[in-house]
Amino acid sequence: MMIRPRRNRKSAVIRDMVQETQLQAANLIFPLFIIEGNNQKTEVKSMPGIYRYSIDNLLREVESCLNLGLKAFDLFPNIEDSLKDKYATISYQKDNLYLRAIEAVKKNFPEACVVTDVAMDPYSSDGHDGIVENGEILNDETLEILGKMALAHAESGADIIAPSDMMDGRIGYIRQVLDQNGFTNVSLMSYTAKYASAFYGPFRDALNSAPKSGDKKSYQMNPANVREALIEAQLDAEEGADFLMVKPGLPYLDVVKMLHDNFDLPIAVYNVSGEYAMLKAAAQNGWLDAERSTMETLLSFRRAGATAILTYHAKEVLANGWLTR
């Protein structure tokens, strides 16, 4: 045989030399959960190794990550039920938990990139991403609240604002609000193709943000659809998005690749809580090798075309030196 592909696999040096896909710390964004209090650190039962932090411990965690070379963080708040209402008004009130956390991270670590989540569900008594009236999620009325929330994040120091609500037109609305208030340099990472997925359970457990009634199928995408993501992506690009995101990750690699192939914007992917929990459970039971399964998963996102990967594995990958082995 004149052509033997195995010749390029015969040693570790050659395999590294011809490796097509690279994964670096710069590709990773670490989601972090925030709670009220002092010196608080509580593990999320369904996500081994992942914790909710009070702001003082959040700062310690961010510093630890920065020392490992991990520089981007996506913050999510666990809000007490007593503070929630129908219109998520606490979400943009000064000195709320989330805004204090953003300000604290940027004040203490200006070199860190802070990504913030814009959606009503963590603050809503209904647990939905929009205003609920007679069982219907109101789209246009919700935009005003999302705009106030995004502006509050920008004023607190957010580098990238990531609307995760899936309301129509929210990227254009938020972009206009930010620009009119002098925040033209704040980026928008749109949850472009966010699917109505079964893989979000542990995340909702971490934030206590599950819908109180109904589901999110009227605004999140149908898992059976792929071409619909092109419509969402075209709209987000035209409205001013700086990144296009696909969520979840593993079941939607085809969507990641399609957006990468059709748009010049950077593509982000969210390796969600359920995906993390599955690998952790399998590794703890000895069914999978933790390092190999984690790295194979993350490389699959890069291979499909994702530039930014939001993943709960981010810190362990760097702390264990998995990127350098």
- 194 catalytic, yes or no? yes
The first and second tokens of residue 4, run together, are 């033997």
Which residue matches tokens 């008594």?
125
Among the listed residues 194, 216, 280, 315, the single catalytic one is 194
- 247 catalytic, yes or no? yes
Task: Say how far apart CA 137 and CA 150 lie, in whole Å.
Answer: 20
pLDDT mean over 71-97: 96
Q: Output b/e per residue, 187-210; b: 16+ Cβ within 10 A.
A: bbbbbbbbbebebbebbbbbbebe
> Taking Cα atoms as reference points, which of 93, 48, 108, 53 lies closest to residue 75?
53
Using a CB cutoff of 8 Å and minimum separation of 24, what contacts does 259-264 make? 259/192, 259/193, 259/229, 259/230, 259/233, 259/305, 260/304, 260/305, 260/306, 261/305, 262/230, 262/233, 263/233, 263/237
Confidence at residue 325, expressed as pLDDT on a 0 to 100 scale = 76
205 pLDDT more than 90: no
Task: Say how far apart CA 93 and CA 167 lie, in whole Å.
Answer: 22
Mean pLDDT of the chain: 96
The first and second tokens of residue 158, run together, are 């957010």
The pLDDT tens digits of the residues spanning 256-303 come to: 999 999 999 999 999 999 999 999 999 999 999 999 999 999 999 999
Domain 23-324 grouped into CATH 3.20.20.70: yes
Confidence at residue 234, expressed as pLDDT on a 0 to 100 scale = 98
Does the model's pTM come out above 0.85?
A: yes
212 pLDDT more than 90: no
Among the listed residues 84, 148, 247, 280, the single catalytic one is 247
The pLDDT tens digits of the residues spanning 30-83 come to: 999 999 999 999 999 999 999 999 999 999 999 999 999 999 999 999 999 999
